[in-house]
Amino acid sequence: LRPSMEVFNKMMASLPETKSDASLHSYDGGDTGFLNNFYSDWYSSPNYVRLSFGYNAQRFMHHCTYEKQPSYWDYGISDLRIIHFSSSPKPWEGRDTKSGANGGEEKSEGKKYLTGSDVASIQQAKRGKLERLFDTAYEASQEYHWKQQSTAEYKAYRKMNPTYEEKKAVAKTKAKADGAKSLNRRYKELRKKGMSTKDAMETARREFD
């Protein structure tokens, strides 16, 4: 890539805000519409000037297609370089930059362009594979930052911000404990009904296996 001041100046002179004879319209009011208009012959350019899909992997497409066509993502796209978290909600929306917590109402201008089925699809896959990639990168950056602080601050940060794997481990431990409580409760119920100790335990274990 060779940046060109000449192209840059031409772009600046072509922005819709200039309202000059050279200004170009942006069909979506953003940079995508402007660039498509500025490079109006992009579709006829040779393949080597185009970035592969892995450089602009659309999160929305992943949510809508992965379940039906997983091989397209797992094998067709060899390496994801840039994930474009298009649509709403964004994985960082409502995230407190210090605590890492997701709270508050998630807001995005893009929501008004989504259908009900689109929103349902996104909500269902809200913390999917691509979101976990973002979480991993975010956690790593926060880990690095807080390690540079004092030991007390770092310990406080780690306590408030468990990683995805740590959350999974806690959830697994809780589920195991809840299962044991339910099994014990069922065992006592069966014993009250007159079942022997051995039969009550075997029955309860079968029910919660």
> Using an 8 Å Cβ cutoff, are 157 and 146 in contact?
yes
Comparing 67-71, 107-111, 195-199, the range with the smallest average pLDDT is 107-111
Q: Is the pTM of this model over 0.85?
A: no
Residue 96 to residue 102: CA distance in whole angstroms: 7
Phi-psi map region of 173: left, alpha, beta (phi>0 left; psi -120 to 50 alpha): alpha
Stretch (H or E) spanning 58:
strand 57-58
3-state secondary structure of 2: coil
Which of the four pLDDT bands, split at 50, 70 and 90, describes residue 9? very high
What proportion of the chain, given as a percentage, has pLDDT over 70? Answer: 80
Which of the four pLDDT bands, split at 50, 70 and 90, describes residue 109? low
What's the pLDDT at 152? 80
Summarize pLDDT for 165-186 with one digit per residue, the tens: 778 888 888 888 888 888 888 8
Total residues found in the chain within this entry: 209
Residue 173 to residue 170: CA distance in whole angstroms: 5
b/e code 26-45 from CB counts within 10 Å (16+ = b): beeeeeeebeeebeeeeeee
Summarize pLDDT for 30-77 with one digit per residue, the tens: 888 898 899 888 888 887 777 777 888 888 888 788 878 887 777 766
Residue 93 to residue 103: CA distance in whole angstroms: 8
Summarize pLDDT for 60-72 with one digit per residue, the tens: 888 788 878 887 7
